[in-house]
Amino acid sequence: MTRPFTLAFLLWLAASAGAPRVLAAAADDAAILHALNRLTYGPRPGDVDRVKAMGLQKWIDLQLTPGRIDNGALDARLQRLETLRLDSQTIQRDYAAPAMMERRQRKLAQNGDGNREPGTGNREMETGSRLPDPGSRQASAAIMRDRQVIADLEEAKLLRAIYSERQLEEVLVDFWFNHFNVFAGKGATRIYITEYERDAIRPYVLGNFRELLGATAKSPAMLFYLDNWLSSAQGAQRAQGAQRAPTGLVRRSTGLNENYARELLELHTLGVDGGYTQEDIVNVAKAFTGWTMQPRQGSGFMFAPGRHDRSEKIVLGKTIGSGAVDEGERVLDIVAAHPATARHIATKLAIRFVSDNPPAALVDRAAATFTATNGDLRQVLREILSSPQFASPDMYRAKVKTPLEFVASALRATGAEVRSGLPLVKTLRDMGMPPYFCQPPTGYDETATTWVSAGALVSRMNFAVDLSKNALRGVRVPLSEEQTLAMKIGAPDFQRQ
């Protein structure tokens, strides 16, 4: 086995499930390595020594209070990604709308004004910007500019995972975005995702669960993705402007829509076995009628009273009055405080940070902390990370990394310099985990069964080989003179079969 292939194999192994135990000279080193693999996107050279010098518990405490950590180097890397700082109104006006106008003009040119196909006027809203544009293989400047919004988000996710000093915060942003998943490929959802992640997810990942739940419920990204922006009482009068899509195209009221209500109970709070009924789903949906958004401005929650169902509603045995916007807030209060929600959230966090089948005692304690602290996510996570189950050697290397974790940890382990993250985004797509493009509301799976297969193994090995050969566009790995010479010779073990 050549030295380059050995490097690639060790790189693949380290990025798959944690570094081999032989790399840890003592039990303390193994515990630190375990924490680095679970709380970060993988250890960098020298990280074990740095954490040992600080003390593992102090390092964990620091990661739990990310505002105390200087992240200036990452901020400098992100500076060129201008759309990250924009609000949804600006993205709609300056990026999405010009591209949409360009697509319409191309369709008209292709079909002719008099031969426009029925029902095609809003096709771009449903398919997103990743499909080829009719009539031309060459994307216009407006269309390329529109695509840049998602490209900036995708690249930023990778750069944050690789370079952020606030590693636990980035792990949690990904975890909670996945928990409250929205799909960038569903029409105008892509317009709102920048603001969604930045303003509705990131500020709350170590905060209060009820506040996080409320921020996602009112986000235009969630309102559009799960169609609640169109939901209304049967026979409700039209609210001024509330039934126009962000493009200005008229949309008919669809009556009561249960999509958000169902996912709120099944995925966001109680869990699939949380004890709710179909009647609860219907009443929750009624409580959220009129929760919509400002359509023409491209952003902003609004309540349309003319679309609200004013009948009495009973949710999980509790009577919700016949009021207005407060009914939705009352539902969020009820489900956020429900014991099933405490257990559901505790279980998901334990799966992410401990094992695919977390010990019941750990879940019990984490759920009790959730309830006792009214959903203080920092305290729930602290309970998990300070538990004997988390520190148990039986849990070392008990998790298989997702493609995002695999790629980011490999780049961190090698000290790679990433000049462009976009080729890495393609790698994630090839591995089945394109950022922001998970279609179902369940988000990407956290357990090994989804990510372990013969094809996945080959993809990961090929990536490790390409990385160790410095064959990835936009990425450079610092290599010794001996390693560089081996690459030039062209060791046969590096040839893809």
pLDDT in tens, 195-250: 999 999 999 999 999 999 999 999 999 999 999 999 999 876 554 444 444 433 33
pLDDT in tens, 163-194: 999 999 999 999 999 999 999 999 999 999 99
User: Alpha-carbon distance 192 to 88, whole Å?
Assistant: 5
* pLDDT above 90 for 406: yes
* pLDDT above 80 for 139: no
Residues 239 and 318 in one domain: yes
Q: How confident is the model at residue 136 (pLDDT cuts 50, 70, 90)?
A: very low
| Domain boundary residue, one of 154, 174, 207 | 207
Residues 427 and 309 in one domain: no
Comparing 11-20, 104-113, 393-402, 419-428, which segment has the lowest mean pLDDT? Answer: 11-20
CA 364 to chain CA centroid, Å, is: 26
* pLDDT above 60 for 469: yes
Contact 71, 145 (CB under 8 A): no
Helix (H) / strand (E) containing 475? strand 475-476
Residues 176 and 238 in one domain: no
Q: What is the CA radius of gyration of the chain?
A: 24
Q: How confident is the model at residue 294 (pLDDT cuts 50, 70, 90)?
A: confident
| Domain boundary residue, one of 395, 411, 439 | 395
Which distant-in-sequence residues (6+ apart) come within 8 Å of 50 by Cβ?
none
* pLDDT above 50 for 130: no
Residues 115 and 190 in one domain: yes
What is residue 322's predicted lDDT score, i.e. its pLDDT? 64
What is residue 115's predicted lDDT score, i.e. its pLDDT? 47
Mean pLDDT (whole number) for 23-42 = 84
Is 198 within a domain?
Answer: yes
* pLDDT above 50 for 161: yes
Q: Which residues of 407-428 are buried (b: 16+ CB within 10 A; e: fewer)?
A: bbbbbbbbebebeebeebbebb
% of the chain exceeding 90 in pLDDT: 73
> Tokens standing for 497?
């079969």
The residue with greater pLDDT, 407 or 17, is 407
What's the sign of the alpha-carbon dihedral 204, 206, 210, 216? positive
Amino acid at 398: A
What is residue 16's predicted lDDT score, i.e. its pLDDT? 55
Q: How confident is the model at residue 259 (pLDDT cuts 50, 70, 90)?
A: very high
Q: How confident is the model at residue 18 (pLDDT cuts 50, 70, 90)?
A: very low
Closest CA to 150 of 428, 436, 419, 440: 436
Amino acid at 133: D
What is residue 126's predicted lDDT score, i.e. its pLDDT? 38
Contact 321, 327 (CB under 8 A): yes
The residue with greater pLDDT, 49 or 14, is 49
Question: Read out DSSP for 135-160?
Answer: T-SS--HHHHHHHHHHHHHHHHHHHH
Is 221 within a domain?
Answer: no
What is residue 325's predicted lDDT score, i.e. its pLDDT? 86
Is 70 within a domain?
Answer: no
Backbone angles phi and psi of 318, in degrees to 5: -110, 135
User: Alpha-carbon distance 221 to 199, whole Å?
Assistant: 11
E-strand stretches of 61-128: none
Backbone angles phi and psi of 348, in degrees to 5: -65, -40
Burial class from Cβ neighbours inside 10 Å (0-12, 13-18, 19+) for residue 62 reads middle
What is residue 107's predicted lDDT score, i.e. its pLDDT? 82
Question: Read out DSSP for 224-285?
Answer: HHTTGGG---TTPPPPTTTTB-TTS-B--------HHHHHIIIIISS-TTSS--HHHHHHHH
Is 69 within a domain?
Answer: no
> Tokens standing for 150?
């998602």
Residues 363 and 470 in one domain: no
Residues 123 and 155 in one domain: yes
* pLDDT above 60 for 116: no
Contact 220, 192 (CB under 8 A): yes
* pLDDT above 50 for 488: no
Residues 115 and 156 in one domain: yes
User: Which SS3 state, helix, strand or coil, does residue 439 take?
Assistant: coil
Which distant-in-sequence residues (6+ apart) come within 8 Å of 97 by Cβ?
247
Burial class from Cβ neighbours inside 10 Å (0-12, 13-18, 19+) for residue 468 reads buried
Residues 365 and 453 in one domain: no
| Domain boundary residue, one of 395, 415, 432 | 395
pLDDT in tens, 447-466: 999 999 999 999 999 999 99
Counted residue by residue, the chain has a size of: 497
E-strand stretches of 304-413: 313-315, 318-320
User: Alpha-carbon distance 4 to 493, whole Å?
Assistant: 8
Is 71 within a domain?
Answer: no
pLDDT in tens, 42-75: 999 999 999 999 999 999 999 999 999 999 999 9
Q: How many domains does the chain contain in total? A: 4
What is residue 121's predicted lDDT score, i.e. its pLDDT? 37
What is residue 295's predicted lDDT score, i.e. its pLDDT? 62
User: Alpha-carbon distance 161 to 310, whole Å?
Assistant: 46
Burial class from Cβ neighbours inside 10 Å (0-12, 13-18, 19+) for residue 145 reads middle
What is residue 110's predicted lDDT score, i.e. its pLDDT? 79
* pLDDT above 70 for 484: no
What is residue 408's predicted lDDT score, i.e. its pLDDT? 97
pLDDT in tens, 376-385: 999 999 999 9
The residue with greater pLDDT, 321 or 280, is 280
Domain that holds residue 380: 339-395
Is 483 within a domain?
Answer: yes
Ramachandran category for residue 32: left, alpha or beta (phi over 0 → left; psi -120 to 50 → alpha):
alpha
* pLDDT above 80 for 120: no
Residues 89 and 186 in one domain: yes
The residue with greater pLDDT, 361 or 497, is 361
Is 291 within a domain?
Answer: yes
Is 390 within a domain?
Answer: yes
Contact 86, 189 (CB under 8 A): no
What's the sign of the alpha-carbon dihedral 337, 340, 346, 348? negative
What is residue 237's predicted lDDT score, i.e. its pLDDT? 52
User: Alpha-carbon distance 216 to 206, whole Å?
Assistant: 15
Residues 85 and 169 in one domain: yes
Contact 20, 413 (CB under 8 A): no
User: Alpha-carbon distance 167 to 390, whole Å?
Assistant: 18
Token pair 């919004």: residue: 149
Mean pLDDT (whole number) for 360-366 = 98
Mean pLDDT (whole number) for 318-325 = 82
* pLDDT above 60 for 398: yes
What pTM was estimated for this model as a whole? Answer: 0.87
What is residue 135's predicted lDDT score, i.e. its pLDDT? 42
Closest CA to 413 of 64, 41, 134: 41
What is the pLDDT of the chain when averaged over all its residues? 85
Residues 49 and 123 in one domain: no
% of the chain exceeding 70 in pLDDT: 80
The residue with greater pLDDT, 492 or 47, is 47
Residues 83 and 203 in one domain: yes
Give the CA distances from residue 292 to residues 83, 162, 240, 397, 467, in Å, rounded to whole numbers and listed in that order: 25, 37, 12, 45, 46
